[in-house]
Structure 1
């Protein structure tokens, strides 16, 4: 579909994994092999299944994954079909299947569905079809149409009902963490606020002051908050109340 070529901007160039990162291959239920990097933590509290944004590939945030592992969180970052070394061509339905396969391979620790931008929409879908411990999203929209409307006005009608996180997030019965930069020039900050408002309790919203769409992870505040969320959802599984 022509819209897929605008939404998905894969980078197929990927380096060898750096020290501390393990390479993995995962086969999806429709027989596509996708590539993943696993970053183990010592005494990990949870595993983040990381769905990245619409551009680049898993290598783009490996420094963040290593920083989260240093904070006690395992990270399994995978490339959608057509990205990095993964086979196939990306589509909305296809990246959902990829996320489900990554989740299914993630192991026994509590799983947090984690995503950035488009990956947040993928993670919200994943949390609606798999029994995760929590969902955490960064710089994520309500719907793709809402993002298009903020940039292209009436032409947004051509997008249709794609990546509808707003409809899904209110169905989730797990803890939700939403973070957004208040100077985001791609996905307006107001969309992050609306997405958060639609989620059930327990939930937390983190406003990253001065952050734009692509530099939001420069904040150690965000990394600390994600690691704290992972610890809180593990405690929540044991029947403890979440306190933020």
Structure 2
């Protein structure tokens, strides 16, 4: 047996330990970085193409706006100023979408005098940058700052509306501050629950394939760095909140809406018997009723 290592001086041993630690740390960081990149690619598939032309009814009303996020990313939004004594709705779309897909929402809000700010997240549509959970939160915070400082809209005259992943973004900001009201449409409890649902049902592939038991077990134990943990934030929203969901939603099961409502008993829960995850028409009427029920604000825009 070679005992030369045990006869090595303490100083030499320390150097050896240091080198081994550096090698291990480097390999660990490389693995963590690779995992982080894989996680990001699995979560986000932003739609930068297939931008639908603006409806003729909205042309000349919606202003095509560009502004910079708090961390310097150039963002795009469609903006329409509210009529007097009406709040402005910041609309946050879902993952794999862009603002041009939800012109029916913008049209309904505009027709009823509400202000509209359709936010395009970083990496989506015509916004620059790459999507990341913390980045999406910054984008919404930056939108609020833009409306307050550039458009002179008081925060108490702002309503946050988020659908699907946009609901998770809205829930985070809404749980840390106060606004006129909040609408969560087709929103999941957290990204792990949603990933388990998508893999176990095979929605991510037509014929289950890899997205079967193996993938479900994988996402159950995956040490996820991006959480979108709406379930553990929603109880902090202590002002008007509407949770809307369709029973026909296959992408985000309606059970998640019930779970979120259970976490915030003061929330209004609306379950529609029509619609799906990929439409919003089923919620528009109920959302307009919710908006009209909000206590008028004495703060002028």
Superposition TM-score, scaled by structure 1 size:
0.88
1:120 aligns with 2:120: no
Return the match for 1:30 from 44, 51, 71. Answer: 71
CA distance 1:105–1:231, change in 2 (3 Å): farther
Q: Structure 1: 5+ residue runs without aligned partners? A: 239-244
The CA distance in 2 between the partners of 1:114 and 1:151, in whole Å, is 24
Alignment of 1:13-28 (within 5 A): 13=49, 14=51, 17-18=54-55, 19=59, 20-28=61-69
Alignment of 1:59-98 (within 5 A): 59-98=100-139
The residue that corresponds to 2:278 in the other structure is 214
CA distance 1:106–1:228, change in 2 (3 Å): farther
Q: After alignment, is 191-200 or 91-100 more displaced?
A: 191-200
The residue that corresponds to 2:228 in the other structure is 163
The CA distance in 1 between the partners of 2:170 and 2:93, in whole Å, is 9
CA positional deviation for 1:200: 4.5
Deviations 1:73-131 (A, max 9, x none): 21101111111111110000111100100111224251111100000000001112333
Contact 1:44-1:74 within 8 A present in 2 as well: no
The CA distance in 2 between the partners of 1:205 and 1:225, in whole Å, is 10
Q: Structure 2: 5+ residue runs without aligned partners? A: 1-36, 200-215
Paired residues in the alignment total 233
The CA distance in 2 between the partners of 1:139 and 1:94, in whole Å, is 21
The CA distance in 2 between the partners of 1:134 and 1:120, in whole Å, is 13
The CA distance in 2 between the partners of 1:159 and 1:204, in whole Å, is 33
1:228 aligns with 2:269: no
CA distance 1:150–1:16, change in 2 (3 Å): closer
CA distance 1:92–1:212, change in 2 (3 Å): same
Q: How well do the aligned residues superpose, as a CA RMSD in angstroms?
A: 1.9
CA distance 1:74–1:44, change in 2 (3 Å): farther
Return the match for 1:177 from 242, 255, 258. Answer: 242
Q: After alignment, is 39-48 or 121-130 more displaced?
A: 39-48
Deviations 1:123-178 (A, max 9, x none): 00111233311111100011111111223232322263610000000011111100
The structure carrying a bigger strand percent of its residues is 1
Return the match for 1:10 from 37, 42, 46. Answer: 46
Deviations 1:171-222 (A, max 9, x none): 1111110000001100000001111111142x2111110322112x232xx2
Contact 1:10-1:82 within 8 A present in 2 as well: yes
Q: After alignment, is 31-40 or 176-185 more displaced?
A: 31-40
Deviations 1:35-71 (A, max 9, x none): 0001344446211111110012111101221112112
Q: Which has the larger radius of gyration?
A: 2
Superposition TM-score, scaled by structure 2 size:
0.72
The CA distance in 1 between the partners of 2:272 and 2:223, in whole Å, is 29
